[in-house]
Amino acid sequence: MAAQAAAAAQAAAAQAAQAEAAESWYLALLGFAEHFRTSSPPKIRLCVHCLQAVFPFKPPQRIEARTHLQLGSVLYHHTKNSEQARSHLEKAWLISQQIPQFEDVKFEAASLLSELYCQENSVDAAKPLLRKAIQISQQTPYWHCRLLFQLAQLHTLEKDLVSACDLLGVGAEYARVVGSEYTRALFLLSKGMLLLMERKLQEVHPLLTLCGQIVENWQGNPIQKESLRVFFLVLQVTHYLDAGQVKSVKPCLKQLQQCIQTISTLHDDEILPSNPADLFHWLPKEHMCVLVYLVTVMHSMQAGYLEKAQKYTDKALMQLEKLKMLDCSPILSSFQVILLEHIIMCRLVTGHKATALQEISQVCQLCQQSPRLFSNHAAQLHTLLGLYCVSVNCMDNAEAQFTTALRLTNHQELWAFIVTNLASVYIREGNRHQEVLYSLLERINPDHSFPVSSHCLRAAAFYVRGLFSFFQGRYNEAKRFLRETLKMSNAEDLNRLTACSLVLLGHIFYVLGNHRMGRLRSHSQKLQTQA
């Protein structure tokens, strides 16, 4: 018995020594690989060689799987060798599934591999991979939530918003069960954002009400709490702006601006949350700051505060340039494109046409760097070119650009905006397109079936019909339409529409020989006071 015990002890010691030796060579190679990866500049080839040197030692499965993951990650993030990256990540995913309690490697491999599949346009391979990972990750709250977010994002990119909303609903319920009200709010707010995109307003209102209650009641990390509040308020502000309610949005916009000021004074807390399901953050606070500038610019443009729009655009673009030196996040390019789209319209209104054309060229260059960005903004680009053509009185070119934009968009509000501008082009061209013009005006008839709920666009449609009636010499009808425009634009402080309507009404009264324009004068004085 003693001899057996001694032999067993000797074998255990030999195994321990072997394991220690294995660990030492592995740690040495890993240390060299990390040194080369973090060098300035990074020495990726040497990093890869160090990691590849692990395999000839016939390492245990855990080390083998982790090394495949590390190699796949380095090749994916730092090289264009997607084939080798995919091969290593697939091996990491396959091997790690055979190892118990190896969740981090297993699910990180699944997450990275699905990203790579999407990058290669193999979405049909990414979906089942994520679904399987979600199915087996239910005992790992962080990864389960992260993978649900990732699959929901994939469905969103495919425009399958119904499936994305369903997944976010599942995530919200899971977060509630595991006791994470913070992540539950993130799931619900993300779902609310998609419902707004789908224009499902009856579902949005109760959801945002619930989100507001969760955000106010949650007690946790101050930056996380304020970031939830920013997310919530951004949704409210964009909802009002989409509805063209420039005046009604002001209290929410003011709260949002105060909230971002609060966040900028808070220091990042390095203490990790006790609940692993809370290990998420919506956006870095620097990105949130740019986003608040962006919605402020959107509001200023709708309200006609062009100097304010210019001021906040300059601030936002300056911050974006600093961020893009350190961060290549695609969302920054999206912010930049949307800001430029708004400031281009501002330039055209203020007569700075050459600058507007230069900025349109800049938007084109940004969109050419990303196929997805170009796809999402192609209709807006043609719309901006159409507006530029109108500003330089090239009506045939304007018509061609607006017609192309209409073919490229499924967005109802953008469609209505384009049609309204195209109708104004046809009105200015006289009798050349009467039949088409009548068809367009019927499709944006605010008296009957207007296709969108936007207060601003509906007021603009009344103005265009008033303009058409004026050119037709039907002055009483024109006055009726323009008074409707004034009523709606005054209700929501749509100052540019108010100004255009007053000018045209004044011209009508002049033509009719009616020089008693006291009400018009009071409207003009009010507009000057607001400006």
Task: Examine the fold and report which residue of 401, 429, 446 is the final residue of a domain before the chain moves on.
Answer: 446
Residue after which a domain boundary falls, among 446, 479, 511: 446
pLDDT at residue 429, rounded to an integer: 82
Burial class (CB in 10 A: 0-12, 13-18, 19+), 88: buried
Q: How far is CA 444 from CA 292, 351, 420, 431, 447, in A?
A: 32, 28, 8, 20, 9
What is the distance between the alpha carbons of residues 337 and 360, in angstroms, rounded to a whole number?
10
* 477 shares a domain with 432: no
* Collapsed DSSP state (helix, strand, coil) of residue 38: coil
Cβ-in-10-Å burial (0-12, 13-18, 19+) of 95 comes to buried
Of 366, 436, 365, the residue nearest 406 (C-alpha): 436
Helix 123-136 and helix 141-157, axial crossing angle in degrees, nearest 10: 160
How many domains does the structure of the chain reveal? 2
Whether 405 is covered by a domain: the verdict is yes
* pLDDT tops 90 at residue 428: no
Of 446, 472, 502, the position where a domain reaches its end is: 446
- CB distance 455 to 492 below 8 Å: yes
Residues 401, 438 share a domain: yes
pLDDT of the residue at 521: 52
Q: Is residue 74 part of a domain?
A: no
DSSP class of residue 276? G
436 shares its domain with 391 = yes
Q: Which domain holds residue 429?
A: 370-446
pLDDT bucket at 271, cuts 50 / 70 / 90? low
Give the pLDDT of residue 24: 80
Q: Which residue has the higher pLDDT, 243 or 340?
A: 340
Q: Which of 330, 333, 328, 302 is nearest to 317 (CA)?
A: 333
CB 141 within 8 A of CB 275: yes
Render pLDDT for 360-416 as a digit per residue (tens, 0 to 9): 999 999 999 888 899 899 999 999 999 999 999 999 999 999 999 999 998 888 999
Q: Is the domain of 440 the same as that of 459? A: no
CATH (domain of 398):
1.25.40
59 domain residue, yes or no: no
Amino acid identity at 371: P
Contact 456, 246 (CB under 8 A): yes
Q: Where is average pLDDT lowest: 170-179, 285-294, 449-458?
A: 449-458
Task: Judge whether 390 and 422 are in contact, CB under 8 Å.
Answer: no
Rounded Cα distance between 65 and 90, Å, is 10
Residue type, 109: A
Cα–Cα distance for residue pair 491/499, rounded to 1 Å:
14
* Unique residue bearing structure tokens 């999407």: 118
pLDDT bin (cut points 50, 70, 90) of residue 452 is confident
The tokens for 4 are: 């057996």
pLDDT, tens digit, for every residue of 32-57?
Answer: 899 999 888 889 999 999 999 999 88
Task: Tell me if 408 is assigned to some domain.
Answer: yes
Strands (E), 36-156: none
